[in-house]
């Protein structure tokens, strides 16, 4: 893999990680058609995800700082963040359990273009119906442990390439009556422990990477970070304006095209 491939894949990862179109699905499709692309395990993919994880830390730095200090401070705000931290733990458990138990099974999916294309079609359906049937009245509902657990199950399902992590988790919360901005914010924050854990596990593949590739991999991660910041800002605006159906149409188009090509 050369620097141009790393830059392209980093930009693609950052833009599609937070926009609800499945970054893993796009990476599988792009890597399938890049000549000579190879990586140890899915190390490069996970490092790109780590770059976008840093983008979340930067964009939501105030929330992250308050979460880190929640148990060391007093007051109403600290109490809210302690509750949010507990909800994030609930949301993390399903992906941690399923990801560890079926790691090799999911890694095998990253080479199955027809399956990835089908999962993009599924993502499009989730986005379309969540926008169509989202709560349009009755006031804002507070996040509960049950909401967090359901979002966590959706995040676990998004380990499959082609299922958008942000799309599926936001869709579940919209179905349950959570307002769009709260759903998006919670979706981004709940990604941090899962992506962090996947990054640590993928470091086991580090010895298989040639020393000459380290700079190339780092370049991809930096590009993912920069484009990730832009896509977070974009999606926050999209959910406020209720325009998720645009991404549903996009997922159907891309999934349909590459499903046909794969045969």
Mean pLDDT of the chain: 83
- pLDDT (0 to 100) of residue 64: 92
List, for residues 178-194, the tens digit of each pLDDT value.
Answer: 888 888 899 989 888 87
Average pLDDT for residues 30-51, to the nearest whole number? 74
- pLDDT (0 to 100) of residue 207: 60
DSSP 1: -
- pLDDT (0 to 100) of residue 140: 60
pTM of the complete model? 0.81
| Residue in the block written with tokens 């942000």 | 166
In whole angstroms, what is the distance from residue 71 CA to residue 128 CA? 39
Average pLDDT for residues 44-70, to the nearest whole number? 88
In whole angstroms, what is the distance from residue 63 CA to residue 69 CA? 10
Q: pLDDT-based confidence at 81, cuts 50/70/90?
A: very high
In whole angstroms, what is the distance from residue 190 CA to residue 98 CA? 16
């Amino acid at each position: 893999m050369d620097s141009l491939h790393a830059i392209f894949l980093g930009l693609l990862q950052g833009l599609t990680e937070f926009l609800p179109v499945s970054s893993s699905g796009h990476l599988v499709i792009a890597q399938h058609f890049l000549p000579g692309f190879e990586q140890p395990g899915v190390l490069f993919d996970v490092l790109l995800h780590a770059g976008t994880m840093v983008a979340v830390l930067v964009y939501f730095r105030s929330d992250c700082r308050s979460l880190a200090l929640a148990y060391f401070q007093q007051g109403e705000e600290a109490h809210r963040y302690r509750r949010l931290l507990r909800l994030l733990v609930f949301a993390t458990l399903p992906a941690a359990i399923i990801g560890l138990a079926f790691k090799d099974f999911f890694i095998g999916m990253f080479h199955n273009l027809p399956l990835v294309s089908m999962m993009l079609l599924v993502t499009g359906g989730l986005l379309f119906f969540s926008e169509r049937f989202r709560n349009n009245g009755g006031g804002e509902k507070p996040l509960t442990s049950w909401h967090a657990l359901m979002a966590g199950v959706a995040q676990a399902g998004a380990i499959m390439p082609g299922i958008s992590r942000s799309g599926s988790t936001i869709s579940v919360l919209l179905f349950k009556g959570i307002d769009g901005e709260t759903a998006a914010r919670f979706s981004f924050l709940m990604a941090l422990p899962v992506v962090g854990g996947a990054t640590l596990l993928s470091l086991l593949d580090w010895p298989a990477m040639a020393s000459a590739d380290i700079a190339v991999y780092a370049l991809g991660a930096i590009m993912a970070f920069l484009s990730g910041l832009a896509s977070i800002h974009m999606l926050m605006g999209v959910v406020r304006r209720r325009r998720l159906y645009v991404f549903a149409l996009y997922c159907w188009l891309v999934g349909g095209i590459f499903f046909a090509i794969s045969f």
